[in-house]
């Protein structure tokens, strides 16, 4: 599952991933409830391997096979402040049903690093940096 703050970013990302040949579903708030339920079911069945979504999936969506969550960006409120509770719900979509899970947040050097620091302070938890140049490190985390 990949979480995005806005529908526009989610739509763009889903299109880009699809162009690269990935089986991607897009789920966002402008869809009818029936459409969202059908998309979640397709994802549960494995017909789509990646689900790109917005806050619409932050609560109450439990898909047992979700082992990785990617926060493409961070959720902020209407004033631009970090939304810690939404972040917690996003990462909480993995590691369910007694299984291990991995949450990865995409961070750039400017704005997002300060947001990540605020998340660490708020939850009093250290968030480790993943060296994307070290494939062995990535594989260790995934297993």
pLDDT means over runs of 10, the chain (143 residues): 90 95 89 87 89 76 79 81 82 75 80 80 87 72 61
The boundaries of the domain holding residue 28 are 2-142
Q: How many domains does the chain have?
A: 1
Please state, in angstroms and rounded to a whole number, the distance separating the CA atoms of residues 89 and 79: 20
The C-alpha R_g of the chain, in whole angstroms, comes to: 15
The dihedrals phi and psi of 50, each to the nearest 5 degrees, come to -125, 135
CA-based nearest residue to 75, from 131, 133, 122: 122
Residue 115 belongs to a domain with what CATH number?
3.40.50.300
Place of tokens 């070290």: 134
SS3 call for 27? strand
Reported as type and span, the H/E element at residue 102 is strand 102-105
Please state, in angstroms and rounded to a whole number, the distance separating the CA atoms of residues 128 and 112: 14
């Amino acid at each position: 599952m990949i979480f995005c703050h806005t529908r526009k970013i989610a739509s763009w990302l889903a299109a880009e991933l699809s162009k690269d040949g990935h089986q991607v579903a897009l789920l966002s708030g402008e869809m009818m409830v029936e459409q969202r339920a059908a998309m979640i079911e397709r994802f549960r069945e494995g017909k789509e391997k990646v689900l790109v979504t917005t806050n619409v999936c932050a609560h109450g969506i439990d898909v047992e096979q979700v082992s990785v969550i990617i926060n493409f960006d961070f959720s902020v409120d209407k004033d631009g402040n970090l939304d810690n509770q939404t972040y917690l719900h996003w990462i909480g979509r993995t590691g369910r049903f007694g299984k291990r899970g991995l949450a990865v947040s995409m961070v750039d050097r400017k704005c997002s690093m300060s947001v990540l620091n605020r998340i660490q302070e708020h939850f009093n938890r250290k968030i480790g940096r993943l060296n994307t140049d070290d494939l062995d490190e990535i594989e260790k985390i995934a297993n």
